[in-house]
Structure 1
Amino acid sequence: MAKFIYCALAALGLLSAAPLGASAQVKVKTKVKQAASGAPSLAPTPIANPVLAGDYPDPSVTQVGDTYWATATSSNWGPTFPLLKSTDLQHWQLVGHVFPGERPAWADYYFWAPEINHDANGKTYVFYTAHKRGGNLAVGVASADRPEGPYRDLGPLVGQPDGSIDGFLMHDENGQPYLIWKEDGNSVQKPTPIWAQRLSADRTQLVGEKTELFRNTAAWEGNLVEGPSVVRHGGYFYLFYAANGCCGAGCTYATGVARAKNLLGPWEKYDRNPILTKNDIWTCPGHGTAIERNGHWYMLHHAYQTGSMQYVGRQGVLSEFTWTASGWPEFLSNHGTPTAAAPMPGTVADEFAGATLAPSWEWPVEDKPTFALQNGQLQLTARPDKGGAALGRPTLAANYTATTTLLNPASLPAGTTAGLAALGDPSNSLSLLAGAGKLQVQELRDGKTRTLAETVLPAGPALHLRVQDQGGNHYRFAYSPDGRTWTELLPAGQTADGSFLPPWDRGVRVGVVAQGPASATAAFERFEVVNKQ
């Protein structure tokens, strides 16, 4: 269980950082990532969070020319590791993925904490965590000649017996590249050292001996420190890190900082840690990247938004900080980011008109479905197990309405059902499914199926399906032959309980499913999500 307490971040911004408790100064060894220091600026930059709406844990950012590139944890959803770009750190466009097709051959699941870094050699590297087939968690690396890819996987760099996660590239005071990472000791009830070890010139292997920078020693840090991000400022390396419990309704995540004159230490933890904690809007801020822009310093990190919590997931937020007279970072607005809210994403629709599926669609990373786009239709090939073939999109709000049109539902082959679903993982979903002359609301919980409501399948060449979510975990299901007059399937006033849907480290997706023999195909037209406050 402790192993699963590694949080990724999709920072949601505007967090208050009133200290949870002071920790004694600790001198240790650690590494930090280099960044330019800009002229100080007195006026804070207005920020509306989240800047990355939806499930974007452990966000990372790097600058290439006048463009910023970001990525984030994808965990057990594929494609692996989103690629986003921005010119101002606040408005982002999803343009692809580090691994858009098959995941790296050496790994099977838990694709966490990708750290994107445009290196001095002109290449862009992504240092990432994944579960090694037949082994434990390890840090791997991929490289590309351009930040948008294509990326070539270079394999794992380090995988300790207790697991290795959260790799970060930083150059020391002599310009030598180092990998900084966390040993995942909390997975076996041990401390969590932060290590540093020199990287080879081609970034494909570690050389020399590893050095411990520091570990969890302060009370507020709980059973772990993780997610290192290093910058250089005013003659010091500063290592920002996350600590305590990352995920779920009971999370206790917060952000601390340590500094050192040399990358390998000794490191001194700030006696006013944690420097970034929850406020009324954002909960459990942590695991991000510090970066400077136009004289302003920011951290792009993840946090849960009050009212959506684990149902939407850890969203990406941007929090600004300055440097105190004593040389330590201090987050603005009483140790937090102003809590202005970004405009709610309105209607998101897909007409399936292109030749390829939009990059916002995802699937279970171990069970990529077979699908095709043709004549404005999404054609999804069924599968007989693991909840069927599934394609989903991240939810962006705790309140939304999703609709799609299933074509020729009465013509689905025997043993086949298809429809609309709220997706937690392959073992947990709530679905509105047509097939075998019936229309059913089905609950799949821990791999066991239960029918919540049922009616006769309406006749006609198409059937409009609708799912409505209220508060992240209260679901209603309806159908319509014409898309105008809707009939609810659950009794009046009743909703389906979706509190079981989100895994410990992910938000809920909403999308389409097809269950049955692999010879069967279901066709869908137009998918739409309307988000609400």
Structure 2
Amino acid sequence: MDDRPIELLGCKLSADGLRLEGEPFSLLKDEERRGMEGQHWLKLGDYYYLIYSVNGCCGPKSDYAVSVARSKSLQGPYEKYEGNPILHGGDEIQSCGHGTVTTTPDGRMYYLCHAYFPGEDFFMGRQPILQELVLGDDAWLHFKDGETASTEHPLPLAGQVQQPLPDFYDDFTSDRLRVEWTWNYPFATPHIQLFGGRLSLSGEPKADAGAGTALCLRPVAADYTFETVLLNQNEARKGITMYGDDRNLLSITCRNNQLELSLRKDGKETPLAAPVILPIPERGETPVYLRLQVKAGCQYAFFYSLNGKDWTQIKQQVQNADLVQWDRVARPGLYYEGKTGEALFEYALMRNQQ
């Protein structure tokens, strides 16, 4: 890479939006070397406004912020606002940016972007926020409640009610996987089947990947539990994971009739407790209930049960914030690792502790 500053370019698109027409033109250059991305255009009155994001987008040290420039011509030149950034983090929100403007039926403007919350709420990952945007008497865009992003605002539309954080429950009786489930597609190809109130999970890691297949959920609270019941025993590792990526994860898995708790850090796996030999056959279908308890976003405790009522903790609490991977945080989920066989699950429950 050369030493040129980041530059935002524009170019006319064809009518179907699939081809470039004409020559690219320069919009803005990052002369301040703060970073520049996530641009959004809008036209108000005499000006085209270009909202863009600066600073570090991701990770525990993110200081993402929102700036604006304007021009009376689509192709510029654009003038940067002297008071940039017009939106940044503070006590309630750590950082925010990379958004788009939406409008209400009565013409009010809202900026929808992603943000990190500070402290333990950081471990929920980037969250969507809405901040009201107004055009000032100086013909510049400003945020109605000031340049420091905040978490509490009047609801945009009358008759709306803020809903409590929802728990998640999947009994796998649908004929298709629910949209809340996610997987790390660069590292594994999952094989997922739903039948008779069961989910079958298997898969193969891709070339140079470091671990198995994870099917995960996004946490929406810093304190929660994630629970499932594993229905089958075989030589594959099957169970629950707290998944950062293929080389960084916690897992509690059942292999044959043996429970194993381990940490994989930078590709190196370390047992966190002695294996637990369960009083069940090494093959067949005997339910084993597994539970992950999360506190403060990164404090983990693992439990198992043979009846779903009496729970045994495998090890004292494990604290590990290192599962965070730059632009994403660890997610709880179901896990499979093996060359043959499958993992059979009967339900998944994520319950928020409020």
Q: Distance in 2 between matches of 1:350 and 1:331?
A: 40
User: Which of the residues 37, 40, 51 maps onto 1:229?
Assistant: 40
Correspondence for 1:386: 210
Q: Could you report, residue by residue, the CA deviation over 1:265-321 in whole angstroms, capped at 9, with x for unpaired residues?
A: 111111111100112111111110012222211100011012345522111111102
Matches within 5 A, 1:331-410: 331-336=143-148, 338-340=150-152, 343-366=163-186, 367-383=188-204, 386-409=210-233
Deviation of the 1:399 alpha carbon: 1.4
The residue identity in structure 2 corresponding to 1:301 is C
Whether 1:198 aligns to 2:9 is: no
3-state DSSP of counterpart to 1:394: coil
Q: Assess if the C-alpha contact under 8 Å between 1:434 and 1:457 holds in 2.
A: no
Q: State the Cα deviation string for residues 186-231 of structure 1 (Å, max 9, x = none).
A: xx6541011111112222222222111111124xxx4311111011
> Alignment identity in percent?
35
Tell me the distance in 1 between the aligned counterparts of 2:68 and 2:307.
58
Secondary structure, aligned partner of 1:363: coil
Aligned to 2:159: none
Equivalent residues in 2 for 1:421-460, closer than 5 Å: 421-453=241-273, 454-459=275-280
Whether the aligned pair in 1 keeps the contact of 2:39 and 2:51 (CA below 8 Å) is: yes
Q: Distance in 1 between matches of 2:203 and 2:35?
A: 42
Say if 1:312 and 1:394, in contact at 8 Å, map to a contact too. Answer: yes
1:498 correspondence with 2:320: yes
Work out the CA distance in 2 between the residues paired with 1:511 and 1:258: 42
Q: Mapping of 1:474-513 within 5 angstroms?
A: 474-490=299-315, 494-513=316-335
SS at match of 1:369: strand
- Aligned residue runs from structure 1 range 98-497, under 5 A: 190-218=4-32, 222-293=33-104, 294-308=106-120, 310-336=122-148, 338-340=150-152, 343-366=163-186, 367-383=188-204, 386-409=210-233, 412=234, 414=235, 416-453=236-273, 454-459=275-280, 461-490=286-315, 494-497=316-319
Equivalent in the alignment of 1:523: 344
Unaligned runs of 5+ in 1: 1-161, 163-187
Q: 1:265 and 1:382, CA in 2 relative to 1: closer, same or farther beyond 3 A?
A: closer
Structure 1 position 501, deviation (Å): 1.1
C-alpha distance 250-337 of structure 1, shift in aligned 2 (>3 A): closer
Would the aligned equivalents of 2:93 and 2:149 in 1 still touch at CA under 8 Å? no
Q: Is the 8 A contact 1:243 1:253 kept in 2?
A: yes
* CA displacement, residues 141-180 of structure 1 (integer Å, 9 cap, x when unaligned): xxxxxxxxxxxxxxxxxxxxx6xxxxxxxxxxxxxxxxxx
1:356, distance to aligned residue in structure 2 (A): 0.5
**8 Å Cα contact 2:90/2:149 also seen in 1:** no
Equivalent position SS for 1:282: coil
Separation in 2, partners of 1:277, 1:211: 29
Q: How many residues align?
A: 336
CA contact (8 A) 2:120 2:296 kept: yes
